Amino acid sequence: MVDESIFKAYDIRGIYPTQLNEDTAFNIGRAFVSFLKPRNVVVARDCRLSSEKLFGALAKGILRQGADVIDIGALSVNELYFAVSHYKFDSGIMITASHNPKEYNGFKLAKEKAIPLSEETGIQDIKNLILKNNFESPAKKGKIIKKKNVEKDFIDYILKSKEYFDVKKIKPLEVIVDASNGMAGAVVSKLFSKLGIKIVPINFEPDGSFPNHSPDPLKEENKAQIIKKLKEEKEDYFGIIFDGDADRCMFIDENGRSVPGDFMTGLLAKKTLEMNPKATILYDLRASNFVRDIVEKNGGKAVMCRVGHAFIKKYMHDYRALFAGELSGHYYYKIDDSYFENSFIAALQITEMMSSENKTMSQLLELTRNYFISGEMNFEVKDKDKVLEAIEKAFLKMKPEKIYKLDGLSVEFKDWHFNLRKSNTEPLIRLTVEANAKEILDEKVKTLKAMIKKYE
């Protein structure tokens, strides 16, 4: 019997083997093909200890329903999306649990042009097909086709991405990279070496037991290794730490300070607009006003959107945007005629900015000095809806300048604003606050925390 809790808003994810196992994978393969009816499915997997077993079962399900499996091996999810889009395959599945701890695994699903399936656009349909367990038996089974050179083609494509950075301007800088024992190391090694960038590697060996730290770059404890190394170096290094499947990365300046994802989004937007004047840039609604301000200052069009890759990729398609960034360290680009994450382009954009402007990471961030942000704070509460209703009611009485519900509750005053939203993947409620002064920020964070904690 399938555990229905594994079907999330943006992917399928659970603990192996109690919530998700080979039987589940087999049925997901069958249901995926039954729902989309693709001729072929590109399949990649990360290095988690259960990924190979799940690949075998998933592939059997896909083949049983008559589609071919395009096996591209163990690669990052960036490369999976690239393969679906660039080679014009019908669909793709990445076996990964992204940033979750080692006991988890799961599946990220995409159709043609690497368009993701979400809860509303296919994941619930796939769940229902599995629950019904009434699959057709096609006359002909599919076959496994191994496709090589995806990594080489991916790297070559990045190096030719003239709309995002100029390789000729990249100097042989020094960068400390923590691959979190996930899928980023191989691409970083080959890509950066071609540009003469010196790498100090940390945790580059893929190891699904994640022996050094969990593959979540947002958690401070997981950045301890790279921050320690940055503080040991005398040169003006900077740092990058990737998550398990490499679709997310966080940057750390030469002083060992983490760069908030929205500040990085603003810097990457500035670089994108330098190369593409008047381009449309997307940012998620949790972001600092810095993103909107720097986009507009540099002649671009800034568009706020909902949190989550499925929503952002749809917005990018609708607005024909070239770049989008999330607070969580996801950076999206237009690749061919598709839209998906590419952490490696983000890394090279920043490297080129540091090279061409002859600045350290902290000097680039001087642009953000008048923006005071809290970062995302998480709270476990008994009733998320009740919290949102109570906070909305309280702040309506304060007559804010603006209140909207694009994703959760957003409230704006003249000198500060906040967003409070339910997590789509965890039993949490999430809060972000920004103010025009540090004193205002501290005061408003304290007030909101106290209001939320009444419902814990």
Q: Residue 419 corresponds to which tokens in the numbers above?
A: 């967003």
Place of tokens 């960036």: 78
DSSP state, residue 116: B
Burial call 339-377: b when 16+ CB within 10 Å, e when fewer = bbbbbbbbbbbbbbbbbbeeebbeebbebbeebbbbbbb
**DSSP codes joined into one string, 292-335:** HHHHHHTT-EEEEE-SSHHHHHHHHHHHT-SEEE-TTS-EEEEE
Residue 301 near residue 320, CB atoms below 8 Å: no
Phi, psi at residue 242, to the nearest 5°?
-100, 160
**Contacts of the segment 361-364: beta carbons below 8 A, 24+ positions apart:** 361/238, 361/251, 361/252, 361/253, 361/254, 361/259, 362/253, 362/254, 362/255, 362/257, 364/267
DSSP state, residue 10: S
Residue 353 near residue 267, CB atoms below 8 Å: yes
Side chain identity at residue 75, one-letter code: L
The answer to whether 209 is a known catalytic residue is no
User: Strand pairing partners for 74?
Assistant: 45
323: nearest Cα among 281, 294, 351, 260? 281
User: Strand pairing partners for 418?
Assistant: 411, 433
d(CA 118, CA 187): 28
The catalytic position among 34, 76, 91, 98 is 98
**DSSP codes joined into one string, 242-253:** E-TTSS-EEEE-
Catalytic residues: 98
